[in-house]
Amino acid sequence: MNIGLILELAKRDITEKYSGSTLGALWNFIYPLVDIFIFTVIFANLMGSRLPGSSSVYAYGFYLTSGVIAWNAFSNTVTRTSSVFLDKKYIISKVKVDLSSFPLYIAVSESITYVVTMGIFLFLLLISGYGVSRVILLVPFIYIIQQIFAYSLGFFIGVFVVFVRDLKEVVGIVLKIWFWFTPIVYLYDVLPDFVKKLMNYNPAFSFIHLYQTIFIYKEIPSLKPILYLLLLSLVILFFAEIIFKKLEKDIRDFI
């Protein structure tokens, strides 16, 4: 694993996405800032959305934002990691590089965007008077486990996308369905009982609910979903590594 290559690719990913524009890399952070503004101000003040059990006018907007920020980091990492070997084939086909470095640079790049976006979110929580509790110290650990899961899943799928390229489009569709199957926009409590039981098997619910518990309800989350997500991530990563080792030479030939 080449740490220097991973960091250099992550740096280029952030700076080159909007190269040529006046604001450049700042657009990576303007978009999430606009999203947060819409979720908190528009939903709260214009649409009058409220979170049951909370008197704060911003509670629902913060509930939505805490889930969307985490989902965006997860979704972007899975989507981009699953197609990274094809997207970077112009480098892979010309230079002898460690292929396993490519999925990792995306996880690093998306994490930088996440940190900045989360910083903006925390600032809004403080200036709005909603506040934060000391349990937010758990957020970095939850995020790391979430990203291990996203990286593992994207890496696993990415090995097969090289050979079955339609999988890239299938990933996008599955993530759209997955988003609405996870209580991010709506509340877990409104779901029918049989759907609530299904949520126990939804890995995205595991980490989204952890964020909502910390930021909105300011409670210490249960350890069980954290361990479940970590175990699932390690299992997927284990199989991804085995399959990657077996197919690495074929990946280079096919791209």
Confidence of residue 158 (pLDDT cuts 50, 70, 90): very high
- The pair of structure tokens assigned to 74 is 């997860």
Nearest-angstrom CA–CA distance, 199 and 180:
12
Listed range (13-17, 131-135, 173-177) with the worst mean pLDDT = 13-17
Confidence of residue 48 (pLDDT cuts 50, 70, 90): low
pLDDT at residue 250, as a whole number: 86
Listed range (47-61, 62-76, 224-238, 241-255) with the worst mean pLDDT = 47-61
Task: Report the mean per-residue pLDDT for the chain.
Answer: 87
60 phi and psi angles, rounded to 5 deg: -65, -40
Q: Which amino acid is at 244?
A: F
**For tokens 């990492």, what's the residue?**
77
The radius of gyration of the chain from alpha carbons, rounded to an integer in Å, stands at: 19
Give, in degrees to the nearest 5, the angle at Cα 149 between 172 and 242: 95
**For tokens 């284990």, what's the residue?**
238
pLDDT of 2 higher than 80: no
The predicted model gives 131-150 an average pLDDT of: 93
Kindly write down the DSSP assignment for every residue of 11-25, as one continuous string.
HHHHHHTTTTSSSGG
The predicted model gives 133-154 an average pLDDT of: 94
**60-119 tens-digit pLDDT:** 888 989 999 999 999 999 999 999 988 888 878 777 777 877 888 899 989 998 998 899
pLDDT at residue 89, as a whole number: 83
pLDDT of 45 higher than 70: no
